[in-house]
Amino acid sequence: MTTATSGSPNVEFVTVIATESLSKRFPRVTALDRLSVDIGPGVTGLVGANGAGKSTLIKILLGLSPATEGRAEVLGLDVASKGGDIRERVGYMPEHDCLPPDVSATEFVVHMARMSGLPPTAARERTADTLRHVGLYEERYRPIGGYSTGMKQRVKLAQALVHDPQLVFLDEPTNGLDPVGRDEMLGLIRRIHTDFGISVLVTSHLLGELERTCDHVVVVDGGKLLRSSSTRDFTQSTATLAIEVTDTDEHPDGTGALRKALHARGMTVSDGSGLPGAGHILLLTAQGEETYDLVRDVVADLGLGLVRMEQRRHQIAEVFKDSDEQANAQGSQHARKEAVGHGG
Amino acid sequence: MAVEQTRAQAPARAGEQPTHAGEQSRIHNIGYRNYDGPRLGRAYARRSLYSQSLRGAYGLGRSAKSKVLPMLLFAVMCVPAAIMVAVAVATQANDLPIKYTDYAIIMQAVIGLYVASQAPQSVSRDLRFKTVPLYFSRPIETADYVRAKFAALTSALFILTTVPLIVLYVGALLAKLDFTDQTKGFGQGLVSVALLSLLFAGIGLVISAVTPRRGFGIAAVIAVLTISYGAVSAVQAIADVQNSGDAVPWLGLFSPITLIDGVQTAFLGATSNFPGGHGPSSGQGVVHLLVVLALIAGCYGLLMRRYRKAGL
Query: In angstroms, what is the C-alpha Rg of chain B?
Result: 24
pLDDT, averaged in runs of 10, over chain A (344 residues): 42 78 90 92 90 89 91 94 92 94 94 95 95 93 94 96 96 90 92 94 84 86 84 63 83 84 80 60 76 85 83 54 50 39 35
Q: Which residues pair with A19 in a beta bridge?
A: A37, A72
Measure the CA–CA gap between A168 and A5, rounded to whole angstroms. Answer: 20
Given this model, what pLDDT does residue A41 score? 93
For all residues of chain B together, what is the average pLDDT? Answer: 87
Range of lowest pLDDT (A272-281, B41-50, B176-185): A272-281
pLDDT above 90 coverage of chain B, percent: 65
CA–CA dist B39, A116 (Å, integer): 8
Residues of A in contact with B2 (CB under 8 A): 119
Shortest CA distance to B288 belongs to which of B261, B259, B249?
B259
Q: Residue A26 carries which side chain, given as an amino acid letter? A: F
With a cut of 70, say whether residue B19 has pLDDT above it. Answer: no
Q: Give the HSE-up count for residue A89: Cα atoms under 13 Å, Cβ half-sphere.
A: 19
Which residue is closest to A166 within chain B, CA to CA?
A: B34
Share above pLDDT 70 across residues of chain B, in percent, rounded to a whole number: 89
Inform me whether the pLDDT recorded for B17 exceeds 90.
no
Judged by CB atoms within 8 Å, which residues 252-311 of B form the interface with A?
A: 311
CB distance B303 to A53 below 8 Å: no
Closest alpha carbon within chain A to B142: A64
Q: Does B43 touch chain A (CB under 8 A)?
A: no
Q: What is the pLDDT of residue A199?
A: 96
The confidence score (pLDDT) of residue A254 equals 83
Nearest-CA distance from A96 to chain B in Å? 8
Over the range B75-84, which residues count as b (16 or more CB within 10 Å of their CB) and which as e?
ebbbebbeeb
The model's pLDDT over B138-150, given as tens digits with 9 standing for 90+, comes to: 999 999 999 999 9
**Cβ contact B98:B84 at 8 Å:** yes
Distance CA A270, CA A250 (A): 23
Looking at the complex, does the CB of residue A103 fall below 8 Å from at least one CB of chain B? yes
Is A119 an 8 Å CB contact of chain B?
yes
Q: According to the model, what pLDDT value does residue A267 have?
A: 78
Looking at residue A10, what is its pLDDT? 43
Neighboring chain B residues of A124 at a CB cutoff of 8 Å: none
Q: Find the DSSP H helices in chain A.
A: 54-61, 83-89, 105-115, 120-133, 149-161, 179-194, 207-213, 231-236, 254-264, 289-302, 316-330, 333-343
Interfacial B residues in 121-160 facing A (CB < 8 Å): 125-126, 129-131, 133-141
How many Cβ pairs closer than 8 A exist between chain A and B?
116
Q: In this complex, which of A90, A117, A126 lies closest to B44 when CB atoms are compared?
A: A117
Q: Give pLDDT, residue B29.
A: 53
Contacts of B45 in chain A (CB under 8 A): 114-117
pLDDT value of position B2:
42
Q: How far is A130 from chain B (nearest CA, A)?
A: 8
CA distance A85 to chain B (A): 7
- Average pLDDT, integer, range B155-180: 94
Band of residue B312 on the pLDDT scale cut at 50, 70, 90: low
